[in-house]
Amino acid sequence: MSTVQPDACIFCRIVAGAIPATVVASNAHALAFRDLHPQAPVHVLVVPRRHVASLATADDAAELGELLALAAEVARQEGIADAGYRVVTNIGADGGQTVGHLHLHVLGGRAMDWPPG
């Protein structure tokens, strides 16, 4: 687990309610909110409530399961579960991670290309 202070992490501040976000779902371990710069008609971020820097440093299998369960709930709630959707996490600079807090992107509402990029 990272030692980043919650006030220094934008996603920790969103979880704490210090920064507004359009929350679409939550559970005891995670929060889901709309991405400010959507890359698909549905683009929701799912973040753990505690600070975890990335999947590379994640150490709680139950927490990761809760993140995935919430991502699936978001897809059902947003009406994209039947047609299909993508769940992505970026790890490190080469993986495209721009915020140092583990987050899943739930993307859908259109056909997804492969390979992704």
Q: 105 - beta bridge partners?
A: 45, 88
Q: DSSP states of 89-102 as a string?
A: ---TTTTT--SSS-
By three-state DSSP, how is residue 86 classified? strand
Which of 56, 52, 84, 78 is CA-nearest to residue 66? 52
Catalytic residue among 29, 51, 101, 103: 103
Residue 11 half-sphere exposure toward CB, CA atoms < 13 A:
24
User: Is 105 a known active-site residue?
Assistant: no
Catalytic residues: 103
